Amino acid sequence: MIQPGSFTAQLNGLLSGLLTVGLILALALSACGRTPSPAVPAPADPILILATATGPQDAGLLDVLIPIFEKQTGYRVKTVAVGTGAALQMARNGNADVLLTHAPSAERVLMREGWGRDRLLVMRNDYVIVGPTADPAGIRGIPSAADAFRRIAAARATFISRGDDSGTHQTERQLWASIGLNPDGQAWYLESGQGMGATLAIASAKSAYTLTDLSTYLVGRPHLQLEVLVEGDPVLLNVYHVITVNPERWPGVNYTGARAFARFLVDPATQEIIGRFGVDQFGQPLFYPEAGKTEAELGVP
Amino acid sequence: MSLIWEGVLDAIRLLMGDDPEVWRITLLSLRVSGLATLISLLIGLPLGTILALGKFPGRSFLLSLINTGMALPPVVVGLVVSILLWRSGPLGSLGLIYTPAAIIVAQTIIAAPVVTGLTAVAMQQLDPRLRLQLLGLGASRLQMVLTLWWEARLLLLAALMAGFGSVISEVGASMMVGGNIRGQTRVLTTAIVLETGRGQFARAIALSVLLLALTYIVNLALTWIQQRGARR
């Protein structure tokens, strides 16, 4: 049935074939990876985990800022864009070193509980209510976001919520709460459970309203059949803070690196880059640098 | 429809141009999933063979576990590996979370049962008299196993292809344990999710075309080896 003498030869054929593939693979592997070594000597603990809201990542701002920081300091930043709710939880569990988040009230709770060490204001932009051009709830140009939400509910017009405990979602929930209305379970109130870009795409496809930060909307606008209907209400202020995780709670965190990153974000040179970011492409900044100001000065509720 | 066409044109432009990031992402996908598949082969080939040929208590139970493992949802693997590798987790001190190594670990857990299960099936397909004949001809155990693997080579290569296919295409585990970090752990599938979320559909389609092309090339190479083996 078989000749035991020939199987070694056959096996050789198979193995040489596999070896060829392995070699190709190995060549491909050796060619990739290896980022250029930084200009300055690496710090003792060079790995820094940044848990961030999705806004700055989706807008592309972090793609600009992180390489500058890495080059200046030799740190290697692991940016995890998880949304503000998850980022705050990562701080509580000691799974992140530094946060960039935009939910002031939840952040204050985190600080009060002692999970964070420093909290510095970095930048702001605005939330806007976007919706279909037809505007079935008739909210165009209304100055009050709360009134707009009331009309959307009254018209039972479809509204897409992030539903993911992100900073945007928390702001949206606070708006519903401010008019004493709980939209949960209503047929017109849908939760996407996804990031802002994906949620805007869903709102566009469903001709629905949603609350968004202006930057993500501007980046996605070419593909969206949505327009800005309500803007400028002070409650629609979107403020980003950088928070370092408290090393007394979690001795394993890279506090030195976290502090270096926080300082970098509020540095005047970085603030200038933030203020210029997006101007070429969108004719307006996506984020306004506000380091050094207090929340009260900006009018954070 | 024009969007897809645009995306395909964009893919060609990306490939022709010198966008180093696209190549880096593609090569990282190949490296991570290729290594995970190779490790799965090193685990699955002996384990599947023992499960198929061995006679020991609990064999059927183990096989049923492996067969269930073939349907392991990548997000569940991602969640469990994340919890283990997080700094607060039991293996946190290894510092593996958000590294390519973490993705390789997760993908190996996904691919190993596939390779093991299909190896076991391949070995059980063989005529049991073949083993007796080989031993009767004076083959050593190693020679016998090597010959059996050779006889089952077509199915074993199919197992390898299925293992690779299960990990090159998964996104849930890579996203959770890798974190989709630019320049470090961003692979093709997680990059596609990111670009879609950003509304950059043309770029997402371009990366999808690359992913399909990569999967095709790897399977073409494996099929070529398989069919070369079949003609003998």
> What does the pLDDT read at residue B12?
80
Q: In the predicted model, is pLDDT for residue B184 greater than 60?
A: yes
Residue A23: exposure state from Cβ atoms within 10 A (0-12, 13-18, ≥19): exposed
- CA dist., res. A285 & res. A289, Å (int): 10
In words, the CATH class of domain B2-231 is mainly alpha
For residues A286 and A217, is the Cβ–Cβ distance under 8 A? no
> What does the pLDDT read at residue A151?
97
Cβ-based contacts of A198 with chain B (< 8 Å):
196-197
Summarize pLDDT for A260-289 with one digit per residue, the tens: 999 999 999 999 999 999 999 999 999 999
Ordered by start, the domain boundaries in chain B are 2-231
Q: Where are the beta strands (DSSP E) in A153-289?
A: 159-161, 189-191, 210-213, 227-230, 237-245, 288-289
Angle at A72 between CA A68 and CA A75, to 5 degrees: 90
Cβ under 8 Å to B: A residues 15-34: 17-18, 21-22, 24-25, 28-29, 31-33
Q: Which residues contact A121 (CB under 8 A, 6 or more apart)?
A: A239, A240, A241, A266, A290, A291, A292, A293, A294, A295, A298
Residue bearing tokens 């290569």: B157
Largest alpha-carbon pair distance within chain A? 89
Would you call B181 and A220 a contact, using CB atoms and an 8 Å cutoff? no
For residues B184 and A32, is the Cβ–Cβ distance under 8 A? no
Cβ-based contacts of B78 with chain A (< 8 Å):
none
What is the distance between the terminal CA atoms of chain B, rounded to a whole angstrom? 46
Residue B165, min C-alpha distance to chain A (Å): 16
Domains of chain A: 47-124+238-294 (3.40.190.10), 126-236 (3.40.190.10)
Quick one: angle between helices B141-151 and B20-53, nearest 10? 120
- CA dist., res. B198 & res. A102, Å (int): 19
- Report the share of chain B in percent with pLDDT over 70: 98
- Report the share of chain B in percent with pLDDT over 90: 69
Q: In the predicted model, is pLDDT for residue B7 greater than 80?
A: no
- CA dist., res. A106 & res. A119, Å (int): 12
- CA dist., res. B71 & res. B111, Å (int): 10
**Phi/psi of residue B162, nearest 5 degrees:** -65, -40
| Mean of the per-residue pLDDT values of chain B | 91
Cβ-based contacts of B136 with chain A (< 8 Å):
none
Joined together, the tokens standing for residue A281 give 């492409």
Summarize pLDDT for B124-161 with one digit per residue, the tens: 999 989 988 998 999 998 999 999 999 999 999 999 99
pLDDT per residue, tens digit, chain A (301 aa), is 444 444 444 545 544 555 455 445 444 444 444 444 445 667 888 999 999 998 898 888 999 999 999 999 999 999 999 889 999 999 999 999 999 999 999 999 999 999 999 999 999 999 999 999 999 999 999 999 999 999 999 999 999 999 988 999 999 999 999 999 999 999 999 999 888 888 998 999 899 999 999 999 998 898 899 999 999 999 999 999 999 999 999 998 999 999 999 999 999 999 999 999 999 999 999 999 999 999 999 888 7
ipTM: 0.74
CB count within 10 Å of CB A27 equals 9
Cβ-based contacts of A203 with chain B (< 8 Å):
none
CB count within 10 Å of CB B2 equals 6
Q: Which residue has the higher pLDDT, B194 or A143?
A: A143
> What does the pLDDT read at residue A146?
96
For residues A97 and A49, is the Cβ–Cβ distance under 8 A? yes
Cβ under 8 Å to B: A residues 153-212: 194-198, 200-201
Cα dihedral sign for B84, B87, B90, B91?
Answer: positive
For residues B29 and B187, is the Cβ–Cβ distance under 8 A? yes
- CA dist., res. A198 & res. B46, Å (int): 44
- CA dist., res. B203 & res. B72, Å (int): 30
Q: How many CB pairs under 8 A join A and B?
A: 119
Of the candidate ranges B3-17, B67-81, B110-124, the one whose mean pLDDT is the lowest: B3-17
For residues A167 and A84, is the Cβ–Cβ distance under 8 A? yes
> What does the pLDDT read at residue B183?
87
